[in-house]
Structure 1
Amino acid sequence: MNKYLLIFLFFTAAAQAQVVLEPDSTGVVKSNDSLAVQQIQVRDSLIPFQRYKAEGVSAVVGEYVILDSDIDKAYVEMQSQGISIEDITRCQLMGKLMEDKLYSHQAKQDSIMVPDAEINGMIDQQMQYMVSELGSEEKVAAYYRKDNIAELRSELFDANKNLKLARMMQDKVIEKVEVTPEEVRTFFFSIPEEERPVFSAEIEIAQIVVDPEITQQAKDEAIAKLNAMRADIIDNGASFATKAVLYSQDPGSSSKGGLYMAVKRDSPWAKEFKDQAFSLLEGEISEPFETEFGYHILYVEKIRGQEVDVRHILIFPEVSQKSIDAAQKKIEDLKTQIEAGEITFAEAARKNSDDKDTRNNGGQLINPITFDTKFDLTKMDPALSAQVYNLTEGEVSKIFTDRDRTGKSSLKILTVTKKYPEHKADYSKDYERIKQLALREKQIKAINKWQNEKIKDTYISINQDYQECDFAGNWMKK
């Protein structure tokens, strides 16, 4: 792999990463024995790797300790994200972990601050996702080999804070790095032609979404159900938690009686939800209220300073078959008109699409990773890829039914507005992408220079097992 592709992968991997927990802070291991020899799937074979010694200290960077087990966990974490580990050595992972610790250490030295509220908001989002995947907080704690959810949250706090500090420190190092057009030109033509990067096939996609109408009658019926439950709880002493288990349509909390703990004012909940949570007294139950997810009633179980523990019941208004049939006819008619040339796809999207995020752009989808309109066919969401993979440019897809996280169904059609075949980098056609590669190379040089300067001023101790590693930075202080 040539260095220019490595530059590209180094930054795009960081951009695509979801929330990744620091391996030495989460305790995530997939085997039943945290000290067991791990096996990693590489293509069609299992390749074992072992620690040099159980819980041995591999390195110390400033105030941070890196254990041999951290490297093992990093392998497992990468594999769980679908990243190939075939050509990644322990020395390379060790170097990456030391870099992360150096960033975090220097961020503290430079008094870079991360508000605790911001970290807690990140943890709340992580916990919501993990509970939705595993079913309950108890199962999440067990999966991460913790005695309780409070212990996991504490470790997640440290992990997220250190990662955030590292990112902020790296951003500070490269924030003023820029490239001129001449530097871009020099960068590109310095690459031997046979080593110039090959850009994957890409496509641009647009969509039209039609939501079945939710009638006022359906909304009134949902509110009536919640009012009946509220009355039964208040007047007859029925259990809110039991009602939530039986009737709530929130997959993230229904199994635990609608419970969400430690809700904060600055946490990423719907505004209406937080308004209710912080306006009620302990033991009070709200009137039914609406959020983008549906209709709720909320019970404040415990107030602890700036945090509250709440239970809620969520009901989705039912969509009638009449509404579904009307939405189906509407999107069928739009598809027919577009294919007959009576209206363009973009114009139909602007006038008729119910997706507020794309309709004003003629239905054009934005890549959530790169924030532009191009999607790499090899890195697309599999569900979206399956819907557009065989479309020719300008062809309208069949009608698809999508369900969002609330369970609500929508109908949609898609089109490929532009196709870009796989090709070797071309200076004129791919100038912007080449510019990004040139910028990234310059940023890496700036980072390497910064690292070597800070390594000189930072306490570094590396275990003899790694003394022969060929690190990118001068970690041995030679």
Structure 2
Amino acid sequence: MKIKNILLLGIASLLGVSYAVAAIDNSAEEVAWVVGDQPIWKSEIEEAYQSMLYEKVPINGDPYCVIPEQLAIEKLYLHQAELDTIEVSESMVQQQVDQTINNYIAQLGTQEKVEQMFNKPLPAIREYLRDMIANRSRVQQVQHSLVKGVKATPADVRRYFDKLPEDSIPYVPRKVEVQILTAAPAIPREEIENVKARLRDFADRVNRGESDFSTLAVLYSEDPGSARRGGELGFSGRAQFVPEFTAVAFNLNDKNKVSKIVETEYGYHIIQLIEKRGDRVNVRHILLRPRVAEKDLEEAVVRLDSLHKDLVKNNIPFEEAVAAISHDKDTRNNRGLMVNTNMQSNNYNTSRFEMSELPQEIAKVVNDMQPGDISDAFIMKDPKTSQDIVALVKLTNRIEGHRANMADDYQQIKEMYEQSQQAAILKKWLEKKIAETYTRIEDGWRDCEFTHKGWIKASAN
């Protein structure tokens, strides 16, 4: 069961954003709170505050009240994790550490800038992040354990919805369901050979010591995410790459040599090893994509426009045309129906999209269509490969923006109900824990309207 931001009171945000602050020696620091036998240092609160400002995380209230209460709640969850002997997967933690560091390098441009931000070398940053991410996982596991019994029946959801005040019923933006048929013109052999020749030249120059791989990546790689970092991808596990790339990257041993050319669905690559660490590897790559010829795109547009006429006349069902000629195997095997793969969306893994969740070219075409309409052929970027392709789309269904209702938005209302039940369980558990746990809040930190009752009473014991 998913828990979406329920009653963590910012703990997850704090754990996520406080990566950007450096740990310091607390031996001579001022204590603000004590929870059980665990101190909360004034420096911890300041670090969290500065980090939230850096990440532009909203703080609902006085930060010197909100943040220490968040840290105190975290300590209650972590204490419960110890009682429950909750363990975390070291490989999962290390993978998230790598991913976090990779993200910071992507944002700041170089490892050196990340070290400057943390004011510590990379190994120390890794250890700091390891503790932070492990603690976050423990908190989440405790929460899951507490709320795992929440089940929603249709009757529960109906009663919940009927009692919702009108101003609490969410507005649901317009949603659409779209079928797509795509054509990917063949890339000329000459263009592919030109791309390979350029990559072989790059590899030869690096192998001879005439050029630096990272400089060539900055200048020429067509992977925008890694090019500005000299092609560096950061420490990654095998599952994080496509199989063809993994097979080569994990078999590299000589840091001074460049791999042979690797073909993947994204284009053609050359790879250089930076470092191996257990079952993870850090490599650089240069990606070049062969281009579809303009005349071939134009010919594909003409072909699909001809098909469009037959589709509009109902000479050929759209689904049959998709099965016969569509290029994208995922939608082809789904009768052309697109599936929402945005994991942050309420529509995840369904056929429904808000307009902002569609590829821009499709959203523009679909915007003025009516259900049942089939578009003219248009050129778009393949979301997977960024190659130019030609497409037809059919608008299967459109639900206009509206206040949520049981008929159209049952799943969303069901999730709202489950989250409200989960929040109530966690709130009750936390307030019981607060009442049972020794807490001392020092002078200067008490004059607050806390989210939970019992902190001040506990500190007076």
TM-score range normalised by the length of the shorter chain: 0.7 to 0.9
Change beyond 3 A, Cα 1:395–1:150: farther
2:250 aligned with 1:278, yes or no? yes
Of 366, 369, 375 in structure 1, the residue corresponding to residue 340 of structure 2 is 366
Of 42, 45, 52 in structure 2, the residue corresponding to residue 74 of structure 1 is 52
Of 9, 16, 27 in structure 1, the residue corresponding to residue 21 of structure 2 is 27
**1:94-129 Cα deviation digits (max 9, x unpaired):** 655544454344334423222232233234444545
Residue 323 of structure 1: CA displacement? 3.2
Of 74, 84, 87 in structure 2, the residue corresponding to residue 113 of structure 1 is 87
Of 384, 399, 415 in structure 2, the residue corresponding to residue 420 of structure 1 is 399
Q: Secondary structure at the match of 1:326?
A: helix
**In the alignment, residue 421 of structure 1 is paired with which amino acid?**
E
**In the alignment, residue 366 of structure 1 is paired with which amino acid?**
N
Write the mapping of 1:1-400 to structure 2, written as runs, cut at 5 A. Answer: 22-27=16-21, 59=33, 61=35, 63=38, 65=40, 66-71=44-49, 73-74=51-52, 77=55, 90=63, 91=65, 95-96=69-70, 98-132=72-106, 134-139=108-113, 144=117, 146=119, 152-191=125-164, 194=166, 197-208=169-180, 209-234=182-207, 236-241=208-213, 242-261=215-234, 263-266=235-238, 268-283=240-255, 284-304=257-277, 306-361=279-334, 362-366=336-340, 368=342, 369-370=345-346, 371=348, 372-376=350-354, 380=357, 383=360, 388-397=366-375, 399-400=378-379
Contact 1:215 1:319 in 2 (8 A): yes
Counterparts of 1:385 and 1:473, CA distance in 2: 48
429-438 or 380-389: which moved more? 380-389
Residue 441 of structure 1: CA displacement? 1.9
Change beyond 3 A, Cα 1:382–1:306: closer
**1:17-40 Cα deviation digits (max 9, x unpaired):** x99863333239xxxxxxxxxxxx
Contact 1:56 1:68 in 2 (8 A): no
Counterparts of 2:179 and 2:101, CA distance in 1: 31
**In the alignment, residue 91 of structure 2 is paired with which amino acid?**
A
Gaps of at least 5 residues in structure 1 are: 1-7, 29-54
Contact 2:274 2:283 in 1 (8 A): yes
Counterparts of 1:64 and 1:354, CA distance in 2: 60
**1:321-358 Cα deviation digits (max 9, x unpaired):** 34323333344344444444444544444444333333
Contact 2:265 2:385 in 1 (8 A): no
TM-score (norm 1): 0.73
Aligned residue for 2:421? 442
**In the alignment, residue 199 of structure 2 is paired with which amino acid?**
L
Identity of aligned residues (%): 28
Counterparts of 2:351 and 2:326, CA distance in 1: 18
Counterparts of 2:78 and 2:238, CA distance in 1: 25
Residue 431 of structure 1: CA displacement? 4.1
**1:256-309 Cα deviation digits (max 9, x unpaired):** 543445x35446233333332332323443222222322222233444555544
**In the alignment, residue 449 of structure 2 is paired with which amino acid?**
C
Contact 1:26 1:152 in 2 (8 A): no
Contact 2:312 2:374 in 1 (8 A): yes
**1:204-224 Cα deviation digits (max 9, x unpaired):** 232523333234443344333
Counterparts of 1:431 and 1:467, CA distance in 2: 43
Residue 387 of structure 1: CA displacement? 5.2
Contact 2:248 2:259 in 1 (8 A): yes
Contact 1:298 1:310 in 2 (8 A): yes
Contact 2:191 2:290 in 1 (8 A): yes
Change beyond 3 A, Cα 1:351–1:112: farther
**In the alignment, residue 251 of structure 2 is paired with which amino acid?**
S
Counterparts of 1:274 and 1:186, CA distance in 2: 51
Change beyond 3 A, Cα 1:202–1:258: closer
Aligned residue for 1:455? 434
Residue 469 of structure 1: CA displacement? 1.2
Counterparts of 1:145 and 1:221, CA distance in 2: 44
